[in-house]
Amino acid sequence: MKIKSVRIQNFRTLKDVTIPFDKVTTFIGPNGAGKSTVLRALDWFFNGKPGSLTEKDCSFGAIDEDIEVGVTFNELTLKDKEALGKYVPDGVGTFSAWKYRDVSGSEVLSANAKSYPPFNEIRSKGSAGDKKTAYNELRTADPSLGLAAWTNQDAAAQAMTSWEAEHIEQLVDAPDVLETNFFGFNSGGKMSGLFDFVLVTADLRASEESQDGKSSIIGKIIERSINRSAADAQIAEIVAESKLKQQRVYEDTFKAQLDGLTNQLNDVISIYSPGRKVTVEPAEIELKAAKTSFNVGILDGDTATAVDRQGHGFQRTLLISALQLLAQSTAAETEGVIFLAIEEPELFQHPIQAQAFAKILRSLAEDESKRIQVTYATHSPYFIEAKHFDQVRRLNRVVGEITDVTVSFATNSIVKGKLTGIINSDKVDSCLDAAASGELAEALFSNRVLLVEGTTEASVFYGIGDKLSVGHLESLGISIVPVGGKSLIPLYHAILSSIGISVYTLFDSDSGFEARANSNGKSAEKIEEERRGHVSSNRKVLKYFGQVEEDFPNSKVMEEFAVLDDQLESSINHIWPEWSAACSEIENETGFSLRKNQLLYRSATLKAGGTVPQMFLQILDKAKGIK
Tens of pLDDT along 219-250?
766 666 666 777 878 888 888 888 888 888 88
User: For 40-61, what is the mean pLDDT?
Assistant: 91
User: For 185-198, what is the mean pLDDT?
Assistant: 70
Q: Compute how many other C-beta atoms are within 10 angstroms of the C-beta atom of residue 467.
A: 14
Measured in whole angstroms, how far is the alpha carbon of residue 453 from the centre of its chain?
Answer: 31
User: For 317-325, what is the mean pLDDT?
Assistant: 76
pLDDT of 91 reads 80
Residues forming CATH 3.40.50 domain(s) in the chain? 2-125+164-191
pTM above 0.75, yes or no: yes
Whole-number percent of the chain with pLDDT over 70: 91
Contacts of 173 (CB under 8 A, 6+ apart): 113, 114
pLDDT tens, position by position, 453-475: 999 999 999 999 999 887 788 88
Evaluate if residue 76 carries a pLDDT over 50: yes
**What is residue 128's three-state secondary structure?**
helix
pLDDT of 212 reads 66
| More confident position, 195 or 336 | 195
**Could you tell me if 282 and 314 are in contact, meaning their C-beta atoms sit under 8 angstroms apart?**
no
pLDDT of 436 reads 59
End-to-end, the C-alpha distance of the chain in Å comes to: 49
Distance CA 603, CA 583 (A): 9
Whole-number percent of the chain with pLDDT over 90: 44
Residue 115 gets the label, from left (phi > 0), alpha (psi -120 to 50) or beta, of: beta
Average model confidence (pLDDT) for the chain? 86
Tell which residue, 347, 342, 344, has the closest CA to residue 327.
Answer: 342
Evaluate if residue 531 carries a pLDDT over 70: yes
User: Out of 13-22, 237-246, 559-568, which region has the weakest mean confidence (pLDDT)?
Assistant: 237-246
Measured in whole angstroms, how far is the alpha carbon of residue 541 from the centre of its chain?
Answer: 33
Q: Which residues of 394-426 are buried (b: 16+ CB within 10 A; e: fewer)?
A: bbbeeeeeeebbebebbeeebbbebbeebbeee
Concatenated DSSP letters for 291-349?
Answer: PP-----EEETTEEE-GGGS-HHHHHHHHHHHHHHHHHHGGG-SS-EEEEEEE-TTTT-
pLDDT of 332 reads 42
User: For 5-31, what is the mean pLDDT?
Assistant: 94
pLDDT of 252 reads 86
CATH topology of domain 2-125+164-191: Rossmann fold (3.40.50)
pLDDT of 465 reads 93
Tell me the backbone φ, ψ of residue 326, rounded to 5 degrees: -60, -45
User: Out of 33-47, 401-415, 473-487, 531-545, which region has the weakest mean confidence (pLDDT)?
Assistant: 401-415
pLDDT of 236 reads 83
Tell which residue, 619, 617, 517, has the closest CA to residue 562.
Answer: 619
Evaluate if residue 131 carries a pLDDT over 90: yes
